[in-house]
């Protein structure tokens, strides 16, 4: 008999894999690794802010919602700076440094708010944001992941070709009538929203690795788009599912196992080259 | 009708001039060869005409409109090596890109009619049968011709080409020059071409403009391409040599190969 929490973990892994498998090649081709790093840190600030609000209003749902909103605001800020002529790296760097400072401030405020409120569930929550805890996924988490995941998947699928063109030649795209700013903002928003949706299952510390390496591996293996997507999905799915299964038997956090496995695959391919 | 008019045009970057007080006009169907050393302002002029750069004083018009209002009339052809080859796009998909952004925001599937037009455009530039090949697998000359096909599929009236011959070997330069000649003779488009090597393009150039932060010379090739003018930009070793009724410029980046077409 398979425990119910393990089934929930497998289902969450499948959803996470489909989203990351699709997104990862885009992050690699568009060169969004630095932006991804900044966005995923803004998730932590959003989560801390959400925990403060959750404590004040006694509503745990505010954690994920605030994390998502903060990430989207950060996305808009970065896009606005880019629109004003800052290079992508400069815009990300400026916003990320503010976010880093706000995280530290946020923790200070969180601790003072926690001091006179019951905080045990929240301390567990912050840990699950950092390392991910797929075995703590609840049915309502799974439902949110399914609904949000399906929406993001189809949005990404519908605009996939446009995102590829945006990565290939943004100047050309604009000269032929494409609104590059709008596409860029939608892409950034998708990256942020996927991060917010899956951060509790994957963990903030390892999120960037599992968002980047599957695409990097797929682009090393093939340069045919269908194969790239297929390999990226296959790698993510295999690594996520096997790390959950392995974690069940070894009690090692699955996000750590997945990250190490992806690193080994990528390293092996690099050496083989 | 005048295709491009610039009057007292000064192009600025952060308030500092990159190109000063340039005036010229180009008739519809004419080809302008834009010549000048690195940093002379060639790309700045091209980007201003194509609405990619908006910081300027003076007047510039494309078919009687402000550059940004005439965007659908302009086909911009960048240097092929400025594109991101990691993106796995086929030749047909790259060409189709020139046609699909006229309408809609979502382009999940390229319409069949657009694909057919893309195939015809590929045939026009001599790349028929290579539609399924990846952009990254094409040679330098093929990539540049592919980008010409992408510009053509958008039905432009003005083609702006940013150094279409750069980083190409002599035979690839000849191929690209051949396609440009075909575009001129069959489609009659107005073209502005920046180049370091004017020789393969002299057969199609109606006007030559020499710039170096300012306008040095503008006119018909035989008027502009003189030893004195070329030396004033490229230094004392530069020269113009008439060979068999044709002119050849030696500017430090030279490929003395001939192409068909009448000499000047």
Strand pairing category for B31-35 and B190-195: parallel
B63 in Cβ contact with B157 (< 8 Å):
yes
- State whether B52 and A223 contact (CB < 8 Å): no
Grouping H, G, I as helix, E, B as strand and the rest as coil, residue B2 is strand
* Mean pLDDT, range A108-130, rounded to an integer: 73
CB-based contacts of A125, cutoff 8 Å, min separation 6: A51, A60, A63
Could you read off the pLDDT of A23-51 as tens digits, one per residue? 999 999 998 888 888 888 888 899 899 98
* Mean pLDDT, range B228-251, rounded to an integer: 82
- State whether B150 and A172 contact (CB < 8 Å): yes
For the cut 70, the answer to whether the pLDDT of residue B118 exceeds it is yes
- How close is the nearest chain A Cα to the Cα of B247, in Å? 34
Q: Which residue of B has its CA nearest to A182?
A: B105
Residues of A in contact with B134 (CB under 8 A): 223-224
Could you read off the pLDDT of B190-203 as tens digits, one per residue? 999 998 888 888 88
A32 in Cβ contact with A191 (< 8 Å):
yes
Partners of B60 in beta bridges: B6
What value does the mean pLDDT of chain A take?
Answer: 89
Task: Measure the CA–CA gap between A221 and B119, rounded to whole angstroms.
Answer: 29
pLDDT band at B259 (very low <50, low <70, confident <90, very high): very low
**Taking a contact as any Cβ pair under 8 Å apart, which residues of chain B between 114 and 173 contact chain A?**
134-136, 147, 150, 154
What are the b/e assignments for B203-237, b being 16+ CB within 10 Å?
bbbbbbbbbbbebbbbeebeebbeeebbeebbeee
- How close is the nearest chain A Cα to the Cα of B258, in Å? 32
- The confidence score (pLDDT) of residue B254 equals 44
- The confidence score (pLDDT) of residue B62 equals 96
Task: Measure the CA–CA gap between B54 and B52, rounded to whole angstroms.
Answer: 7
Task: Measure the CA–CA gap between A35 and A49, rounded to whole angstroms.
Answer: 21
- State whether A177 and B134 contact (CB < 8 Å): no
Residue in this structure with the two tokens 């393009």, named with its chain if needed: B201
pTM score = 0.88
- State whether A224 and B134 contact (CB < 8 Å): yes
Task: Measure the CA–CA gap between B79 and B161, rounded to whole angstroms.
Answer: 8
End-to-end CA distance of chain B: 26
- The confidence score (pLDDT) of residue A54 equals 87
Residue closest to A34 by CA, chosen among A90, A74, A110, A79:
A90
- How close is the nearest chain B Cα to the Cα of A214, in Å? 15
- State whether B97 and A176 contact (CB < 8 Å): yes
Partners of B5 in beta bridges: B25, B61
Q: Which residue of A has its CA nearest to B110?
A: A161
**Taking a contact as any Cβ pair under 8 Å apart, which residues of chain B between 102 and 121 contact chain A?**
102, 105-108, 110
Half-sphere exposure of A56 (CA within 13 A, CB side): 13
Give the distance between the most distant pair of CA atoms in chain A: 60
ipTM over 0.85: yes
Task: Measure the CA–CA gap between B119 and B167, rounded to whole angstroms.
Answer: 26
- The confidence score (pLDDT) of residue A58 equals 81
Burial status of residue B40 (CB atoms within 10 A of its CB: 0-12, 13-18, 19 or more): buried
Q: Which residue of B has its CA nearest to A227?
A: B88
């Amino acid at each position: 008999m398979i425990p119910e929490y393990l089934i929930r973990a497998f289902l969450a892994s499948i959803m996470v894999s489909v989203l990351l498998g699709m997104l990862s090649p885009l992050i690699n081709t568009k060169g969004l690794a630095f932006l991804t790093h900044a966005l995923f840190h803004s998730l932590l600030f959003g989560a801390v802010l959400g925990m403060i609000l959750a404590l004040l209003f006694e509503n745990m749902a505010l954690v994920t919602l605030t994390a998502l909103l903060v990430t989207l605001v950060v996305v808009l800020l970065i896009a606005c700076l880019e629109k004003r002529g800052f290079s992508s790296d400069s815009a990300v760097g400026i916003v990320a440094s503010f976010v880093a400072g706000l995280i530290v401030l946020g923790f200070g405020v969180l601790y003072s708010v926690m001091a006179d409120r019951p905080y045990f569930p929240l301390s567990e929550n912050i840990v699950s944001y950092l390392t991910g805890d797929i075995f703590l996924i609840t049915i309502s988490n799974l439902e949110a992941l399914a609904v949000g995941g399906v929406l993001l998947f189809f949005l990404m699928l519908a605009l996939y070709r446009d995102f590829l063109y945006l990565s290939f030649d943004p100047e050309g795209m604009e000269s032929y009538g494409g609104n590059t700013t709008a596409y860029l903002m939608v892409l950034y928003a998708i990256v942020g929203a996927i991060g917010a949706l899956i951060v509790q299952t994957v963990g903030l510390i390892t999120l960037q690795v599992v968002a980047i390496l599957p695409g990097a591996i797929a682009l090393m293996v093939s340069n045919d788009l269908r194969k790239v997507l297929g390999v990226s999905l296959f790698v993510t799915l295999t690594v996520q599912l096997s790390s959950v299964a392995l974690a069940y038997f070894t009690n090692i956090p699955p996000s750590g196992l997945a990250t190490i496995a992806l690193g080994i695959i990528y390293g092996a391919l690099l050496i083989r080259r | 009708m005048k295709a491009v008019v610039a009057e007292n045009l000064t192009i600025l970057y952060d308030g500092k001039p990159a190109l000063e007080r340039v005036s010229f006009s180009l008739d519809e169907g004419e080809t302008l060869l834009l010549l000048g050393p690195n940093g002379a302002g060639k790309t700045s002029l091209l980007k201003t005409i194509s609405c990619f750069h908006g910081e300027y004083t003076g007047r510039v018009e494309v078919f009687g409109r402000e550059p940004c209002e005439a965007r659908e009339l302009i086909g911009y052809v960048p240097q092929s090596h400025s594109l991101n080859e990691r993106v796995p796009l086929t030749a047909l998909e790259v060409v189709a890109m020139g046609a699909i952004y006229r309408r809609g925001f979502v382009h999940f599937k390229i319409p069949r009619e657009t694909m057919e037009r893309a195939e015809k455009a590929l045939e026009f530039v001599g790349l028929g049968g290579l539609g399924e090949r990846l952009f990254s697998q094409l040679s330098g000359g093929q990539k540049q011709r592919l980008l010409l096909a992408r510009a053509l599929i958008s039905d432009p009236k003005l083609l702006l080409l940013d150094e279409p011959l750069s980083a190409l070997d002599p035979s690839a330069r000849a191929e690209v020059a051949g396609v440009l000649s075909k575009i001129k003779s069959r489609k009659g488009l107005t073209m502005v071409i920046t180049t370091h090597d004017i020789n393969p393009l002299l057969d199609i150039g109606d006007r030559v403009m020499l710039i170096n932060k300012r306008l040095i010379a503008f006119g018909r090739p035989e008027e502009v391409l003189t030893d004195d003018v070329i030396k004033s930009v490229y230094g004392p070793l530069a020269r113009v040599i008439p060979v068999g009724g044709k002119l050849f410029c030696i500017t430090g980046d030279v490929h003395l190969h001939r192409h068909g077409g009448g000499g000047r």
